[in-house]
A and B are shown apart, each in its own frame.
Chain A
Amino acid sequence: MSARANILGKLRNSLAGTTPRPDEFDERLVTAPWRYAPEDRIDRLRSLMEAVHTEVHPCRSDNWPELVAELLNKRNLTNLLCAPSREHGRALQAHFEATEQKVELLAYDQPVEAWKEELFWNVEASLTGTLGGIAATGTLVLWPDRHEPRLMSLVPPVHIALLKASEIHDNLYDMMVAQDWAAGLPTNVLLVSGPSKTADIEQVLAYGAHGPRELIVLVLEDA
Chain B
Amino acid sequence: MSQRIPVTELTPDFRGRAEEALADGQLRNNFRVAMDSLMTKRANAFPDADEREGLRELGNRIKAGALSRLPDLLEQLEQKLTENGVKVHWAETVEEANSLVHGIIEARKGSQVVKGKSMVSEEMEMNDYLAERGVECLESDMGEYIVQLDNEKPSHIIMPAIHKNARQVSKLFHDKLGEPETEDVNQLIQIGRRTLRRKFMEADVGVSGVNFAIAETGTLLLVENEGNGRMSTTAPPVHIAVTGIEKVVPNLRDVVPLVSLLTRSALGQPITTYVNLISGPRKPDELDGPEEVHLVLLDNGRTGAFADAQMRQTLNCIRCGACMNHCPVYTRVGGHTYGEVYPGPIGKIITPHMAGLDKVPDHPSASSLCGACGEVCPVKIPIPELLQRLRQENVKNPEQTQQVKGGGAKYSRTERWIWRGWQMLNTRPALYRSFLWAATRFRALAPKKAGPWTENHSAPVPARRSLHDLAARHLDQNGGRPS
Instruction: Pick from B15-23, B247-255, B361-369, B466-474 the stretch touching chain A.
Output: B247-255
Residues of B within 8 A of A27 (CB): 253
- In the complex, the answer to whether A187 meets B251 with C-beta atoms within 8 Å is no
From 389 to 414 in chain B, residues with beta carbon under 8 angstroms from any chain A beta carbon are none
Shortest Cβ distance from A18 into B: residue: B68
Does B75 have its Cβ within 8 Å of any Cβ on chain A? yes
- In the complex, the answer to whether B185 meets A150 with C-beta atoms within 8 Å is no
- Kindly identify which residue among A14, A52, A111 contacts B303, using a CB–CB cutoff of 8 Å: A14
User: For the complex, what is the distance from the CA of A22 to the CA of B225, rounded to whole Å?
Assistant: 34
Does B373 have its Cβ within 8 Å of any Cβ on chain A? no
- In the complex, the answer to whether B256 meets A176 with C-beta atoms within 8 Å is yes
- In the complex, the answer to whether A202 meets B226 with C-beta atoms within 8 Å is no
Residues of A within 8 A of B84 (CB): 187
Does A102 have its Cβ within 8 Å of any Cβ on chain B? no
From 63 to 111 in chain A, residues with beta carbon under 8 angstroms from any chain B beta carbon are 108-111
Expressed in whole angstroms, the minimum distance between the Cβ of A84 and any Cβ of chain B is 14
Expressed in whole angstroms, the minimum distance between the Cβ of B91 and any Cβ of chain A is 6
Does A197 have its Cβ within 8 Å of any Cβ on chain B? yes
- In the complex, the answer to whether A111 meets B288 with C-beta atoms within 8 Å is yes
User: For the complex, what is the distance from the CA of A18 to the CA of B306, rounded to whole Å?
Assistant: 13
From 1 to 24 in chain A, residues with beta carbon under 8 angstroms from any chain B beta carbon are 2-4, 6-8, 10-15, 18-24
Expressed in whole angstroms, the minimum distance between the Cβ of B394 and any Cβ of chain A is 22
- Kindly identify which residue among B70, B90, B186, B200 contacts A210, using a CB–CB cutoff of 8 Å: B200
Known: A139-B271, A184-B217. A211 touches B227 (CB 8 A): yes
Known: A11-B306, A30-B257, A211-B230. A3 touches B287 (CB 8 A): no
Residues of B within 8 A of A186 (CB): 279
Expressed in whole angstroms, the minimum distance between the Cβ of B38 and any Cβ of chain A is 8
From 278 to 330 in chain B, residues with beta carbon under 8 angstroms from any chain A beta carbon are 278-283, 285-289, 297, 299, 303, 306-307, 312
- Kindly identify which residue among B91, B166, B254, B282 contacts A25, using a CB–CB cutoff of 8 Å: B254
Shortest Cβ distance from A22 into B: residue: B65
Expressed in whole angstroms, the minimum distance between the Cβ of B384 and any Cβ of chain A is 24
Does B464 have its Cβ within 8 Å of any Cβ on chain A? no
Does B234 have its Cβ within 8 Å of any Cβ on chain A? yes
Known: A23-B65, A29-B55, A201-B185. A7 touches B303 (CB 8 A): yes
User: For the complex, what is the distance from the CA of A10 to the CA of B70, rounded to whole Å?
Assistant: 11
Residues of B within 8 A of A223 (CB): none
- In the complex, the answer to whether A191 meets B274 with C-beta atoms within 8 Å is yes
Residues of B within 8 A of A146 (CB): 285-287
Expressed in whole angstroms, the minimum distance between the Cβ of A53 and any Cβ of chain B is 10
User: For the complex, what is the distance from the CA of A212 to the CA of B227, rounded to whole Å?
Assistant: 8
User: For the complex, what is the distance from the CA of A186 to the CA of B310, rounded to whole Å?
Assistant: 39
- Kindly identify which residue among B141, B226, B271, B299 contacts A197, using a CB–CB cutoff of 8 Å: B226
Expressed in whole angstroms, the minimum distance between the Cβ of B161 and any Cβ of chain A is 6
- In the complex, the answer to whether A21 meets B197 with C-beta atoms within 8 Å is no
Residues of B within 8 A of A182 (CB): 216-217, 251-253
Instruction: Pick from A35-43, A112-120, A122-130, A162-170 the stretch touching chain B.
Output: A112-120
Residues of A within 8 A of B37 (CB): 203
Does A192 have its Cβ within 8 Å of any Cβ on chain B? yes
Does B193 have its Cβ within 8 Å of any Cβ on chain A? yes
- In the complex, the answer to whether B288 meets A10 with C-beta atoms within 8 Å is no
From 186 to 203 in chain A, residues with beta carbon under 8 angstroms from any chain B beta carbon are 186-203
Residues of A within 8 A of B231 (CB): 154, 210-211
Expressed in whole angstroms, the minimum distance between the Cβ of A66 and any Cβ of chain B is 29
- In the complex, the answer to whether A187 meets B281 with C-beta atoms within 8 Å is yes
Instruction: Pick from B4-12, B56-64, B416-424 the stretch touching chain A.
Output: B56-64
- In the complex, the answer to whether A192 meets B278 with C-beta atoms within 8 Å is no
Does B235 have its Cβ within 8 Å of any Cβ on chain A? yes
- Kindly identify which residue among A18, A173, A190, A203 contacts B276, using a CB–CB cutoff of 8 Å: A190
Does A222 have its Cβ within 8 Å of any Cβ on chain B? no
- In the complex, the answer to whether B51 meets A33 with C-beta atoms within 8 Å is yes
User: For the complex, what is the distance from the CA of A189 to the CA of B72, rounded to whole Å?
Assistant: 26
User: For the complex, what is the distance from the CA of A207 to the CA of B159, rounded to whole Å?
Assistant: 16
- Kindly identify which residue among A15, A110, A151 contacts B71, using a CB–CB cutoff of 8 Å: A15
- In the complex, the answer to whether B90 meets A187 with C-beta atoms within 8 Å is no
- In the complex, the answer to whether A112 meets B161 with C-beta atoms within 8 Å is no
Residues of A within 8 A of B98 (CB): none
- In the complex, the answer to whether B299 meets A24 with C-beta atoms within 8 Å is no
Does A136 have its Cβ within 8 Å of any Cβ on chain B? yes
Residue from A24, A117, A201 having most chain B Cβ neighbours under 10 A: A201
- In the complex, the answer to whether A149 meets B142 with C-beta atoms within 8 Å is no
Known: A3-B96, A8-B71, A15-B68. A209 touches B217 (CB 8 A): no
User: For the complex, what is the distance from the CA of A189 to the CA of B276, rounded to whole Å?
Assistant: 6
- In the complex, the answer to whether A29 meets B257 with C-beta atoms within 8 Å is yes
Residues of A within 8 A of B282 (CB): 187
Does B450 have its Cβ within 8 Å of any Cβ on chain A? no
Does B454 have its Cβ within 8 Å of any Cβ on chain A? no
Known: A20-B68, A206-B185, A210-B227. A188 touches B75 (CB 8 A): no
18 CB contacts below 8 A, A to B, read: A4-B90, A6-B92, A7-B299, A21-B65, A25-B253, A48-B270, A112-B235, A112-B287, A112-B288, A136-B270, A150-B234, A185-B219, A185-B252, A190-B276, A191-B277, A198-B142, A211-B230, A212-B227
The 6 closest A-B pairs by CB, nearest first: A211-B227, A200-B143, A209-B226, A196-B227, A191-B275, A112-B288
9 additional contacts, CB 8 Å, given A29-B54, A144-B289, A189-B277? A11-B71, A15-B68, A113-B237, A172-B256, A182-B252, A182-B253, A189-B276, A192-B273, A211-B227
